Amino acid sequence: MLNSLGLNKPNAQTKVCVAMSGGVDSSAAAIMLKQQGYEVFGLTMDLLQPPYAPEISSIQDAAKVAKILGIEHHFIDYKKEFADKVVHYFTSAYQEGLTPSPCILCNRHIKLGLLADKAREFGADILVTGHYADIRLTTNGVELHKGADLKKDQSYFLFDVAKHNLEMLRCPLAVYTKEETRALVQSAGLEIYKKSDSQDICFVSNGKYADLIKALNPDFQNTEGDIVLTDGKIIGRHKGLINYTVGQRRGLGIGGDIGILYVLKLDVKNNRLIVGHEDELKQKKVLIKDVNWLAEDAPLDGEYMVKLRSRQKEVPARIHFLANGMAEVNLLNDFYGVAPGQGCCIYNKTRVMGGGFICKQDDI
């Protein structure tokens, strides 16, 4: 008979690695698996280094939770790998005029990449994280679905995970709300139940990503340039393109009676910020690259729902898959603020079919 993690062995003989960050969610996952009698151990990654502030308190919290639960616990130094695969990608993308998705890359390469490999080295059968997403085992293989609490659903951030690592993953918080998770941690007597949620990008202090880019790339010239309308008319000066993203309307510093303007494009080649009115921001055709397909069959052209930013609602689209891991996404409704560099997650109802990364409009 299969146990609750989908393996045909007793709980006590199932070795489970919990990715422990020191936060509420991963601690709750460790508690649940320990209570169910699994052989649980924790792995905590040390990722952050100057000039981005290290989260020493989180590492200490993870160790404290492991000690209270009485489980084996290990630290892994992945600072160099994290810098190479995630931070460098993030800063380089902004310099190229993109709006990057570092959490998606971190899940693929670090949290559910290197960490999954390390878990296997320790003999783990299963890797457990505190993601609010639903891993389902079917006769056709593993499926990734949305978490039950759509306000906390994190399936969008997992579309790029390699399938063999997805097969090892379990997310026991799939059916939980954040409030229920906190209550579980509190009932176990852990003070961290009060801990606030982590910020979106762990290595960017107070959202000041431009400062980080400058600190890591002192030779990078983030120079001022012209703000122009789509007809080429110059209407102002920008403070360096890395300070802006497609869809932005605040902080442009444009006065006069032109009306509300939005960032339409970052023209890196000519160091221009192209702006326009809301109707010029809408887009119906999106090209994506590096498609990671999670379904059991080859990518099939058809209608799907797509999410083009983590905090925006899904929209219907007709997708045509191309060669070399690319796809053409034809939106069936107008969409405002398609940002090159962001992830495009492809859904069929609650299931994540896969996804890719949005190309610049020049590539369409």
- Catalogue the active-site residues: 106, 202
Question: Using CA atoms, how far apart are residues 290 and 201, in angstroms rounded to an integer?
Answer: 22
Q: What's the sign of the alpha-carbon dihedral 248, 250, 252, 256?
A: positive
Tokens at 323, concatenated: 């060669």
End-to-end alpha carbon distance in the chain: 51
**Strand stretches in 102-242, DSSP E:** 126-128, 133-138, 141-146, 169-170, 225-228, 234-238
Q: What is the CA radius of gyration of the chain?
A: 22
Burial of residue 256 (CB within 10 Å: 0-12, 13-18, 19+) is exposed
Cα dihedral value 319, 321, 325, 328, nearest 10? -50
DSSP string, 83-98: IIIIIHHHHHHHHTT-
Q: Report the 10 Å Cβ neighbour count for 239.
A: 17
Q: What share of the chain is helix, strand, coil (3-state, %, to 5)?
A: 30, 30, 40
- Sheet of strand 72-77: strand arrangement: 72-77, 39-46, 15-19, 126-128, 169-170
